[in-house]
Amino acid sequence: MIRITDVTLCTIDHRYAQKDLLLRLYKLLLQTGINFIEINVPILNLLGEKIEYEKTILRVEHPSDINRYTGFIRYVCRHSGYDVPAGTISEFQINDVRELNLLRNLSQYLTVRFVGLDDLLQHDYLNIFERLKHLSDTQAEFCPQNSYYCATALAVEWILNGGENIAVSFCGSGGFAALEEVMMALRIAKRHKPNLDLSVLREVKRVYEELSGINISGNKPVVGNNIFEVESGIHVDGIFKNGANYEPFEPSVVGMERKIIVGKHSGRTTIEIKLMEFGLVFPDEKVQELLRKVQDMSIDLGRSITDQEFYELACNLTKW
């Protein structure tokens, strides 16, 4: 069984966070297909009693804190020592695969989380996965970090190769594997939760941006605003016939829509589709001329042209 823990809230600076936004993000993240959400004590103090204990993991600084905050499904603690209550995830940071040799005996721990291993793909990672799984007698959780831009791939490969537990964060917040990328990759590669409506990611993105002050880039995989914009003539033609030709998944799965834009790379088909979109009856013999004007204008401006600019170009050509 795949179990995904989201650690986004632990990566947000709680000192500047608005309580209502935090609570909104907490509730939204629980709708993204994750199994558990991790918070820390300062976040708990802000969220208060509105949390869902059966889905929430509490991060504590010291095992003795566990007795002060009861009722959570699990606790996670770094440097926990051996004497921890059942249900505690003992967390180990491994920055380099060579450090694995120092972790010979973890059998006394009930559950362990391995954090780091950013450079794993530079090594025989499948073999190392097996070593990690056998270091502990019970469940091992993997929380890869992203300093080599491979965290999502490592989290996905861990699951595809028999691992069951991973920890991720929205948009890789804090330097981890990106929740939305992992969810989508597992959906495509393993049919994990294939019917889950992921349109909630739009609102997660909006609230995360407001809370963190981070502006998520337009080409961010899965949630970027521009990922379903298409301009190239070849691709527009293919997508118009069938979205699956050039898209990894339907835009509606993540609450988005495909947008055909016109510019330097447009072809005749793009222009015809765009004219149809505006309901413009346009003389067939002038389509090529319109295409040339669109391309020239796009090159002059150094960008695609807007719908308004396209409409005006088309109207000027027919002198409406």
* Site residues, another protein (CB under 8 A): 119, 121-122, 126, 148-150, 152-154, 156-157, 160-161, 172, 178, 181, 184-185, 188-189, 218-222, 224, 226-232, 234-235, 238, 241-242, 244-248, 261, 263-265, 295, 298-304
CB atoms under 10 Å from CB of 282, counted, come to 18
CB of residue 21 vs another protein: minimum separation in angstroms?
25
- Min dist CB 188 to another protein, Å, is 5
Least Cβ distance, residue 169 to another protein (angstroms): 13
DSSP for 215-261, written as a single string: ---TT-TTT-TTTTEE--HHHHHHHHH-GGGT-SS-GGGGT---EE-
CB of 107 or CB of 122, closer to another protein: 122
Cα(41)–Cα(65) distance, integer angstroms: 10
* Nearer of residues 42 and 255 to another protein, judged by Cβ: 255
Q: Which CB, 63 or 263, lies closer to another protein? A: 263
Contact yes or no for 216/209 (Cβ under 8 A)? yes
Nearer to another protein, 9 or 153 (CB): 153
Coil, strand or helix at 9: helix
For tokens 């002050």, name the residue: 213
Angle at 105 between CA 72 and CA 109, to 5 degrees: 15
Q: Which residues pair with 89 in a beta bridge?
A: 76, 111
Q: Which residue, 116 or 172, is less far from another protein as judged by CB? A: 172
Smaller CB distance to another protein: residue 81 or 218? 218
- Minimum Å gap between C-beta 75 and another protein is 30
Q: C-beta of 155: minimal distance to another protein in Å?
A: 10
Report helix, strand or coil for 42: helix
CB of 316 to another protein, least distance (A): 20
